[in-house]
Amino acid sequence: MLSKRLRHFSELIEDLSLRPVLGRVARLLLLENDEYLTQSQMASMIGSSREVVNRSLHRLEHDGIITINHHHVTVRDAAKLWRIVDDVKPARD
């Protein structure tokens, strides 16, 4: 249990310090794809604001990677989402 918590916090620190919000949103969509989450919940989970999460979701939708229908997000291209997640470089959101 302790090693599981340590791994979780280590991943969280890496996300918050290295990955831009768009990458954190992409990772969350991939890992929590069968859960209904509000934008506020998503923001809380990734350490951002609801407004920045909203912009990230709309950017992903504009790029054709996801679709948003009645507040439900569907991943259309998981490979592109993984590329965004793997693109670990600091960015200004």
| pLDDT tens per residue, range 47-86 | 899 999 999 999 999 999 999 998 889 999 999 999 999 8
For residue 21, what are the CA distances in angstroms to 2, 54, 58?
28, 11, 13
pLDDT of residue 62: 97
Q: Who has greater pLDDT, 36 or 51?
A: 51
> In this structure, what token pair is assigned to residue 17?
């310090």
Q: Who has greater pLDDT, 18 or 66?
A: 66
* Contacts for 50 with CB less than 8 Å, ≥ 6 apart: 39, 40, 42, 43
Q: How far apart are CA 37 and CA 51, in angstroms?
A: 15
Q: Who has greater pLDDT, 29 or 71?
A: 29
> In this structure, what token pair is assigned to residue 43?
């923001």
- Using left for φ > 0, alpha for ψ between -120 and 50, and beta otherwise, residue 47 falls in left
Handedness of CA 56, 47, 16, 75 (dihedral sign): negative
**pTM of the full structure:** 0.78
